[in-house]
Structure 1
Amino acid sequence: MDKYIKVRKIGEGSFGKAILVKAKEDGQQYVIKEINISKMSNKEREESRREVAVLANMKHPNIVLYRESFEENGCLYIVMDYCEGGDLFKKINAQKGILFSEDQILDWFVQICLALKHIHDRKILHRDIKSQNIFLTKDGTIQLGDFGIARVLNSTAELARTCIGTPYYLSPEICQNKPYNNKSDIWALGCVLYEMCTLKHAFEAGNMKNLVLKIISGPFPPVSMHYSYDLRNLLSQLFKRNPRNRPSVNSILEKNFIAKRVEKFLTPELIAEGFNHKIFHKFGPHASPAKRPVQEQTLTSVAPAQKITKPAAKYGVPLTIRKSCGVPKKPNEKKPLTKIRQVRIVGGWKFILEMQIISEVQ
């Protein structure tokens, strides 16, 4: 931290603290994420270093740039660019009920999709897509941030016991204790699109149990008819309960009304590098065919899926909810005992979950 001067704390969450800093060398402002890794084993720390290094090398105009990472006094520090325009969550709240135009929504949505495509094509999952993790630069460009940090956190013993999280973006499969995959990112993308269209969460409830039930089988309030059929239909596709029925991010970007906006945000070189489909050939002579992106069926994360998330441990989702969707319980399956304490905050519910694992059958 010797190279930086702390300006102020700008956030706090399950990851630790977010601190706005100024570089002593040039006065440039950055955000540093401070993560306590003191309880990690040496092997886990080494794994975290490798994973953060991968993120630091990922460069795209719609992804917050990771500058460097280092460790001091039992903490992992991740340095990234500072987005002066704030996050999408604050932008939505600032509307005070006045809906965004469809043009504005689609411009933002396309940029989020371009960022997600860049990640998914490289076999990395975001795992924490939400409006608070989507940022705006000074000139209004959308940048997706905070991906991969959840993977680092999953290594800590502390997270299994205590986690602060906002559960509105949980997919049905996560609620049913199934592993996270790329289609869970797509569900969360749908939640963000719905927020942009309605200024509200798609699924809300006063407690975790009812929220999970709504996500698994409940309806969501319809989006205003003020928006086009294409937009409303896309939203219904993103909210398919069966993850196999949700489109991949590549499929979303190939839809006519989405594809025609891509050239606004990517250079012909980047389009040629990332796309190989007839619909993009009209973007100009530079948009020559490129290598076909990795298909969603083969997408995996940096780590095996079963290690990515244990929703019961992370969010306290009761496994008995499975009965609601007809999924049989495994014989002799032991369930963790979960205590949930609810805390009301501005902007929605947050849940502080204290886990007590009684026993577990491997």
Structure 2
Amino acid sequence: MDRSVLGCRLRDRGFQVVEPLKCAGHAAIFRVRDRIDDDTESFVAKVVCLTGLDAQGQAGAQQEVSLLKGLSAHPNLIAYRESFLEEAGILFIVMSLAEDGDLRRVVTEAQAVKRVLPEPVVLSWLRQVLLGLEHLHKQGVVHRDLKSSNIFLCGGRRHIRIGDFGISTVLQSTAFASSCVGTPAYMSPELMRNERYDYHVDMWALGCICFELCTLSMPFPASSLLQLAVQVMETEPAWSLISGRSEDIQEVNRCLLRKDVAARPTASATLRQPLFAEGGRAALGASEE
């Protein structure tokens, strides 16, 4: 996709392109501002090529994204502002921008200086992700591509917003799907086996993120996709790496990474655990002040 052409299309829709954030293959991401409101607030415009779909499929994809606008009215979800489909089969999705990066960047920075992330901060982030997932799952939405790089930070890295929820559903029939739907390092055993799945895949991914935040490493550090699949389906993470953390967070992490789907907890059930429940909420809030 031509960057200048996409910029013109966005301007025609009333957005000023501030800078390109990513342009590759069948997708592009821009930082934009609203020209009509003359607002200094920045947004993210994600542009996806839907030329692999027929007209009905393209219209369905746009409708799917439009439904996300109401769904995203939650403090722990990236807000979807609007979407529009161009005649050439190019879908534009405008959403809120989280200025403070994502959890993957936090992990990378901590790795560089060999600094352990404080457990109260990790718990606060995990609790906010759980609240966002609980909202999605109650609305019947499975994220399917939850990972540290699409959990965004704002408010001085104190506030969490989950991004890219629902996008995987829109992209599953497009040429961009292979790089967007499911990230192997966070994929559950049932996804690895190409079985039917539900919201439990998000809970497994959260278990991977929990392990990542607690240890600054992935639970299944394979060197190939085949090796990763075998590890995910047949072996346990190196639990000794998390032994320095509290018993409570270790137990939560073990529950989230249960290979038996039926034994894996829901977001609501996990939020009822003592370290996330009402009693622990005040302590978590105090730790961030």
TM-score range, shorter chain: 0.7 to 0.9
Do the aligned partners of residues 265 and 5 (structure 1) sit closer, same or farther apart at CA in structure 2, a change above 3 Å counting?
farther
**8 Å contact 1:6–1:20 — kept in the other structure?**
yes
Q: Which runs of 5+ in 1 are unaligned?
A: 267-362
Q: CA, structure 1 residues 53+264, in 2 after alignment: closer, same or farther (shift >3 Å)?
A: farther
Distance in 2, matches of 1:60 and 1:141, equals 12
- More helix by proportion, 1 or 2? 2
Matched, 1:87 2:97: no
Q: What's the CA shift string for 1:202-244, capped at 9, x where partnerless?
A: 1121111111001101221223332111110111111111111
Matched residue SS, 2:275: helix
- Aligned residue in 2 for 1:227: 245
Q: Which residue of 2 aligns with 1:8?
A: 19
- Correspondent of 2:140 among 102, 105, 123: 123
Mapped to 2, the partners of 1:15 and 1:138 lie a distance apart of 32
Name structure 2 gaps, 5 residues minimum. Answer: 1-9
Indicate conservation of the 8 Å contact 1:15/1:149, yes or no: no
1:69 aligns with 2:83: yes
- 1:155 corresponds to 2:173: yes
Q: Is the 8 A contact 2:120 2:284 kept in 1?
A: no
Instruction: Please say which of residues 257-266 and 63-72 is displaced more in the overlay.
Output: 257-266
Deviations, residues 103-157 of structure 1 (Å, cap 9, x unaligned): 011000000000000000111111110000000113431000101111111122x
Shift of 1:47: 1.5
- Shift of the 154–224 alpha-carbon distance from structure 1 to 2, 3 Å rule, reads closer
Asked if the contact 2:132/2:161 (under 8 Å) is kept, the reply is yes
Q: Distance in 1 between matches of 2:61 and 2:206?
A: 26
Deviation at 1:27, TM superposition (A): 2.8
State the distance in 2 between where 1:11 and 1:121 align: 32
**CA drift at 1:264:** 8.3
Q: Would the alpha carbon gap of residues 40 and 265 (structure 1) be closer, same or farther in structure 2, given more than 3 Å must change?
A: farther
Question: Are residues 264 and 64 of structure 1, via their aligned partners in 2, closer, same or farther at CA, if it must alter by over 3 Å?
Answer: farther
**Partner of residue 32, structure 1:** 45
Shift of 1:29: 0.5
Aligned partner of residue 258 in structure 1, secondary structure? coil
1:59-208 to 2 correspondences below 5 Å: 59-72=73-86, 73-95=88-110, 96=112, 97-139=114-156, 140-156=158-174, 158-159=175-176, 163=179, 166-208=183-225
Counterpart pick for 2:257 among 239, 244, 247: 239
TM score, norm. by length of structure 2: 0.86
Cα distance, 1:263–1:16 mapped onto 2, change above 3 Å: farther
Q: Determine the structure 2 residue equivalent to 1:302.
A: none
Aligned CA distance change for structure 1 residues 11 and 69 (closer, same or farther; 3 Å): same
Q: Quick one: which amino acid aligns to residue 16 of structure 2? A: I
Q: Is the 8 A contact 2:121 2:284 kept in 1?
A: no
More deviation, 118-127/253-262: 253-262
Matched residue, 1:281: none
The Cα of 1:265 is off from its aligned counterpart by: 9.3
1:226, 1:91 → 2: CA distance?
A: 20
Are the equivalent residues in 1 in contact too, given 2:100–2:153 (CA < 8 A)? yes
The CA deviation string for residues 89-108 of structure 1, in whole angstroms up to 9 with x for no partner, is 00111112211111011000
Q: SS of 1:94's equivalent?
A: helix
Q: Structure 2 vs 1, CA of residues 190 and 152 (structure 1 numbering), >3 Å: closer, same or farther?
A: same
* Pairwise CA RMSD: 2.0
Aligned to 2:32: 21
